[in-house]
Amino acid sequence: MIFIPFRGQARGFKLYSLCLLNFDESGRCYGRMTTEESKNMSLKIAGLAEKAMAGNRGSFQELMTMLQEDIYRLAYYRTFSQMDAEDITQEVFVQAYKKIKTLHDPQRFRAWLYTIAVNRCNDFLRKKKYLFLLQSRSAQEQEFVEADKMDNDYTDAIAKKKFWEQVRLLLDKLSTMERQVFTLRFMDHRNINDIATILGKNESTVKTHLYRALNKVREESLFFQEYRELIS
Amino acid sequence: MRKHNDEHLKQEQIIWAVVDEKELSEGDQLHLMRCQLCQDRVAQFMTELQVFGERAEFSVPPLTKILQMPAPERSTAKYRLSWIPFAGAAAMAGLVFFFYFLGMDAMSPKWTTVEGPDNLLEDEYLMQEISEIVEYPLPEELYEITGDAADIDDDFLEFVVPDFQENSQS
């Protein structure tokens, strides 16, 4: 049985729309990532994906280490539950491992993995809709309990709780597709081309949904006031 | 579509610029390139979204579960080959049962016809004995008592017990 350590591993990089940011081991941004570094990263992922497709378990393990936190965050943005997001992350990698031979282009591994993750989250939310009626305590309340347990710093926990409350309210104003596109673009930091691949839509459809989403988001001036102050 | 490049971008055009600058008309793209105010408005909205994304990222609780590497999948060829020993064992078991039941059949008792002349003669003697027993079931001593065993012929019996009809006629 092989276990993958999740802490203390090189976390990888993240491609932003405006700038390329670099992250340290704890996931904190410490600087900008050059285009060259980003290209190298993509090449590395493609190389590992190619080896994994040929049946190399070590390469898949490395990919898992590199991308597990991205997938976990993707799941968390949709479920707002740490436990569920962790379970979904595990399921995504199991499914990816089983289906890796169906991947045609190793260059598209990341987008392909995101497609699996988004679909798993959609399935989970669909099931949860029915299970929700049976639960004595709402998922929201449960999540806050989890957050409280998780953070010893009470102020930090309150701030996070408030933030996720606002995010929920914001995302609730968007349609399903608008929410998917907005989340993938500004929370998962995927580009338009990737989003089109992940959702199986053409780019102009993605742009239209993104425009509608941003139009609604822009109206939430109070929500962004905090960030405006932070920026200014 | 704006006709004059000196007009600032409207709100919807700012949003389109955030989505993708190429979605703007050529005139608007040209204006955006030259107008610092419109550039700032686009940049501010993009930065707000970016900061929001970063905040979201840092507000996610850390991953605490140790992800398990999926179990290796059995290759199709190996999977097919793995059936061969089982198929062989099944065939062997089939053969064993086949021969076992065949042996049982051969060893089971069968009714056979007696064909030898000696056997036929023996049967005849046996049948004679049986007929005699049927005809004379009692021992000879008992027949002496009853008189059946003595040489008593019909004339003697006539003498002892004359016929009734003959007597009445005479």
CB within 8 Å: B73 and A97: yes
Q: Are the Cβ atoms of B69 and A3 closer than 8 angstroms? A: yes
Whether residue A90 contacts residue B68, with contact meaning beta carbons closer than 8 Å, is answered with: yes
Residues of B in contact with A94 (CB under 8 A): 70
A-B C-beta contacts closer than 8 Å: 121
Whether the pLDDT of residue B78 is over 70: the answer is no
Per DSSP, what are the bridge partners of residue A15?
A20
- The CA distances from residue A106 to A51, A100, A192, in Å, are 9, 9, 19
CB burial class (10 A; 0-12, 13-18, 19+) of residue B31? buried
Q: Where are the domains of chain A?
A: 10-137, 151-232
- The correct answer on CATH 1.10.10.10 for the domain covering A151-232 is yes
Question: Is there a contact between A49 and A109 (Cβ–Cβ < 8 Å)?
Answer: yes
User: B149 pLDDT exceeds 80?
Assistant: no
Give the Cβ contact number of residue B15 at 10 Å: 21
Q: How far is A129 from chain B (nearest CA, A)?
A: 23
Give chain B's contact residues with A (Cβ, < 8 Å).
Answer: 11-12, 15-16, 18-20, 23, 44-70, 72-73
Give yes or no for A229 touching B (CB within 8 A).
Answer: no
Among A9, A72, A188, which would you mutate to test the B interface (most chain B Cβ atoms within 10 Å of its Cβ)?
Answer: A72
Can you tell me the distance from the alpha carbon of B63 to that of A69, in angstroms, rounded to the nearest whole number? 7
Distance of residue A136 Cα from the nearest chain B Cα, in angstroms: 24
Q: Do A69 and B51 touch (CB under 8 A)?
A: no
Q: What is the pLDDT of residues A100-156, one digit of tens each?
A: 988 888 999 999 999 999 999 999 998 887 776 666 555 555 555 555 555 556 777
- Predicted TM-score of the model (pTM): 0.64
ipTM > 0.90?
Answer: no
Residue A222 forms contact with B (CB below 8 Å): no
CA distance A135 to chain B (A): 23
Do residue A97 and residue B20 have CB atoms under 8 angstroms apart?
no
State the nearest Cα–Cα gap between B104 and chain A, in angstroms. Answer: 53
Nearest to B61 among A17, A93, A147 (CB): A147
pLDDT, one tens digit per residue, over A12-60 is 333 333 344 444 443 334 444 667 777 888 889 999 999 999 888 899 9
CB contact under 8 Å between B63 and A68, yes or no, is: yes
Q: Which of B57, B58, B64, B66 to mutate to test the interface with A (most CBs of A within 10 A)?
A: B57
Residue scoring higher pLDDT (A137 or A223)? A223
> How many other CB atoms are found less than 10 A from the CB of residue A128?
14
Q: Tell me which architecture the domain covering A10-137 has in CATH.
A: Orthogonal Bundle (1.10)
Model pLDDT for residues B27-66, shown as the tens digit of each residue? 889 999 889 999 999 998 888 888 889 889 989 998 888 8
What's the mean pLDDT when you consider all of chain B?
A: 80
On whether any CB of chain B is under 8 Å from the CB of A205, the answer is no
Which of B50, B60, B67 lies nearest to residue A90, judging by beta carbons? B67
Output DSSP code: residue B65. Answer: S
Task: Determine the pLDDT at residue B166.
Answer: 61
Taking a C-beta distance cutoff of 8 angstroms, is the pair A89, A68 a contact? yes
Among the residues of A54-81, which ranges form H helices?
57-79
